[in-house]
């Protein structure tokens, strides 16, 4: 059986307005700015699975648009 590891953080790129408040708040530098743009024409935040995310939820708490979900 193949086990797929679920990402701890999901960022909805279409909800994201590109304020990037979530980037500096992450103590593990797991969130970066994408090179792409969403349908609203905004650059958006992306979760980088660097193995360091602690599911602390700081990014979720910071996001004004509730675009981030955090899983344990």
Binding site for ligand SF4 (CB under 6 A): 8-9, 11, 16-22, 25-26, 28, 30-31, 44-45, 53-59, 62-63, 65, 67-68, 70
| Ramachandran category for residue 57: left, alpha or beta (phi over 0 → left; psi -120 to 50 → alpha) | left
Q: Which CB sits closer to ligand SF4, 1 or 19?
A: 19
Q: Which CB sits closer to ligand SF4, 1 or 52?
A: 52
The answer to whether 23 and 31 are in contact (CB under 8 A) is yes
Query: Smallest gap, in angstroms, from Cβ of residue 2 to ligand SF4?
Result: 25
Residue with tokens 């958006």: 44
């Amino acid at each position: 059986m193949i086990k797929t590891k679920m990402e701890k953080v999901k960022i909805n790129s279409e909800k994201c307005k590109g304020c990037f408040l979530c980037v500096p708040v992450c103590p593990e530098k797991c969130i970066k700015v994408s090179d792409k743009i969403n349908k609203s024409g905004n650059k958006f935040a992306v979760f980088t699975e660097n193995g360091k995310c602690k599911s602390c939820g700081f990014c979720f708490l910071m996001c004004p648009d509730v675009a981030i979900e955090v899983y344990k």
